[in-house]
Amino acid sequence: MKTRTIAILGATGSIGTQALDIVRRYPEAFKADCLTACGSAEKLFELCRAFRPGVAALVKEPEEIPEDLRSIQWFFGPDSTVRALVASKCQDALCAIVGIAGLDAVWHALDVCERVLLANKEALVTGGDLVMAKAAATGKPLLPVDSEHSAIFQCLQARQGNPVKKLLLTCSGGALRNWKKEDIYHATVRDVLAHPTWNMGGKITVDCASMVNKGLEVIEAHHLFDMPAERIEVVVHPQSVIHSMVEFEDGAVLAQLGMPDMRGPIGYAMGFPHRLPYEAKPLDFAALGHLDFAAPDHDRFPCLGMAIEALKAGGSAPVVLNGANEVAVGAFLREQIPFGRIPEIIRSALDSVPVRAISSISDVYEADRRARECAEKQLGMRNEK
Ligand code: NDP
Ligand code: MG
């Protein structure tokens, strides 16, 4: 394999650091030449010492850049990620920023890179039609990193031009899977962050517990695989061993399996079409004994249904769902609201922000602004806790 240069956008996060584990393992295959973060300056400095990128960026400008890192070309400020990416001229960009904050990077990566490796699902939830149209127009591959979408993408390699009947997205059920409805409302940050199978960043772990994550992933799958909501099914599968499945017209179902370790899907996207040998823990079927499946419980976890409803409503509705969720999750993680307020805040934003058509990225940001305004108003309106 020839060395490819890769920009790791969101290098200090859960996905970013695991991608860098792969770079460390395959120094002849990858050169991480652009590393970016938001405010974790010390963590980024450590990564820069280890990987010596040509370019780096921090949204929040630190007091000073350590002496030994001054030969790196640094960028600071709100648009620093994109400016660093453009300056780096990297062949690939791994978009691993959390939230709609990653949309701009995905958008520009499609202009300046040869391939975009997409972990940031919120970019497709909010700007999906525009991003997919741009990927099609530029002919650039948009390789999924989210484990379910990577699994579907892998299963689709066996498609041979045949139509797909249905996509089946598996779902661990999150930390509160077995909790009673009344207990879920008052789950603490500690309860929610104890994810049973995956080790991830804070926001997505909360999203898993509310199951909005699976809703965001239905929207992501809709865009990536051009599949209507009606043909995307969610299956609760607590062991997280089957990462997702594709059903064909003859009833055959193809699944991709593996231990729950994000280095699998990250490495698959980085190496595509080559599979990088990685010493992942192998599946031991005899030790597993059984795999369990269940239908999602929409009564205890209403966020999944709201996301599907937003997808069907179209236009700005998914942007509003996402924006309200980002505000609510932030407030929950700061312990300003109980967990049960998250679905209430999303519901209210969907009900009160009118659906508008989305025809440009600025339309996306305008809908996001309205959603946040609505959600923040609710946070201020009530004396929480
Ligand atoms: P983390 O919170 O662990 O990391 C987020 C990264 O984004 C950090 O490097 C952070 O920098 C950076 N960042 C945050 N806000 C901004 C901003 N405004 N501008 C620029 N950079 C910013 O998130 P994860 O790694 O868990 O998730 C990243 C994305 O991947 C999410 O969209 C998530 O849904 C998706 N994903 C994650 C999975 C996982 O296993 N973690 C699995 C599947 C999908 P800093 O550290 O300085 O704040
Ligand atoms: Mg996922």
For the stretch 179-194, what's the b/e string if a residue is b when 16 or more beta carbons lie within 10 angstroms of its beta carbon?
beeeebeebeeeebee
CA neighbours closer than 13 Å in the CB half-sphere of residue 180? 2
The residue to mutate among 97, 104, 117, 170, having the most atoms of ligand 1 within 8 angstroms of its beta carbon, is 97
Nearest ligand 1 atom to the CA of 16 is 25
Q: What is the pLDDT of residue 384?
A: 46
CA of 211 to the centre of ligand 1 (A): 18
Phi-psi region of 117 (alpha: psi -120 to 50; beta: other; left: phi over 0): beta
CA of 147 to the centre of ligand 2 (A): 5
The residue to mutate among 38, 106, 197, having the most atoms of ligand 1 within 8 angstroms of its beta carbon, is 38
Q: What tens digit of pLDDT does each residue of 283-294 get?
A: 999 999 999 999
Mean per-residue pLDDT for 98-125?
98
CA of 10 to the centre of ligand 1 (A): 6
CA of 275 to the centre of ligand 1 (A): 25
CA of 170 to the centre of ligand 2 (A): 9
Q: Are 358 and 129 in contact (CB under 8 A)?
A: yes
User: Does the pLDDT value for residue 382 go beyond 70?
Assistant: no
How would residue 322 be classed by pLDDT, with cut points 50, 70 and 90? very high
User: Does the pLDDT value for residue 102 go beyond 70?
Assistant: yes
Strand 253-257, strand 242-248: pairing: antiparallel
User: Does the pLDDT value for residue 198 go beyond 70?
Assistant: yes
Dihedral of the CA atoms 258, 259, 261, 267 (nearest 10)? -30
Query: In this structure, which residue's CA is closest to atom 26 in ligand 1?
Result: 201
Which strands form 4-9's sheet, in the order they lie side by side? 73-76, 55-58, 30-37, 4-9, 92-95, 115-118, 142-144
Q: Token pair 């077995």 is at which residue?
A: 178
User: Does the pLDDT value for residue 141 go beyond 60?
Assistant: yes
Q: Are 215 and 322 in contact (CB under 8 A)?
A: no
Query: In this structure, which residue's CA is closest to atom 39 in ligand 1?
Result: 200
The residue to mutate among 8, 9, 12, 15, having the most atoms of ligand 1 within 8 angstroms of its beta carbon, is 15
Q: How far apart are the first and last CA of the chain?
A: 55
Q: Are 258 and 280 in contact (CB under 8 A)?
A: yes
Nearest ligand 1 atom to the CA of 38 is 47
Strand 73-76, strand 55-58: pairing: parallel
CA of 120 to the centre of ligand 1 (A): 7
Q: Which DSSP helix (H) or strand (E) runs through 347?
A: helix 341-352
> Residue 322, Cβ neighbours under 10 Å: how many?
30
Q: What is the pLDDT of residue 385?
A: 46
User: What is the C-alpha to C-alpha distance for residues 1 and 277, in angstroms, rounded to an integer?
Assistant: 13
CA of 249 to the centre of ligand 1 (A): 37
Of residues 196 and 211, the one with the higher pLDDT is 211
User: Does the pLDDT value for residue 196 go beyond 80?
Assistant: no
Q: What is the pLDDT of residue 381?
A: 56
Q: What is the pLDDT of residue 195?
A: 76
User: Does the pLDDT value for residue 71 go beyond 90?
Assistant: yes
Please state, for a pLDDT cut of 90, what percent of the chain lies above it.
Answer: 94
CA of 290 to the centre of ligand 1 (A): 33
DSSP state of 162: P
Q: For 126-137, give the DSSP string.
A: HHHHHHHHHHHH
User: Does the pLDDT value for residue 1 go beyond 90?
Assistant: no
Q: Are 128 and 104 in contact (CB under 8 A)?
A: no
CA of 15 to the centre of ligand 1 (A): 7
Phi-psi region of 3 (alpha: psi -120 to 50; beta: other; left: phi over 0): beta
Ligand nearest to the CA of 261: 1
Query: In this structure, which residue's CA is closest to atom 27 in ligand 1?
Result: 98
Q: Which amino acid is at 5?
A: T
User: Does the pLDDT value for residue 373 go beyond 80?
Assistant: yes
Query: In this structure, which residue's CA is closest to atom 43 in ligand 1?
Result: 146
Q: What is the pLDDT of residue 199?
A: 79
Q: Which DSSP helix (H) or strand (E) runs through 8?
A: strand 4-9
Mean per-residue pLDDT for 50-68?
98
Nearest ligand 1 atom to the CA of 120 is 32
Ligand 1 proximal residues by C-beta, below 6 Å: 10-16, 37-40, 59, 81, 96-98, 101, 119-122, 146, 198, 200-204, 262
Q: What is the pLDDT of residue 219?
A: 98
Q: What is the pLDDT of residue 194?
A: 85
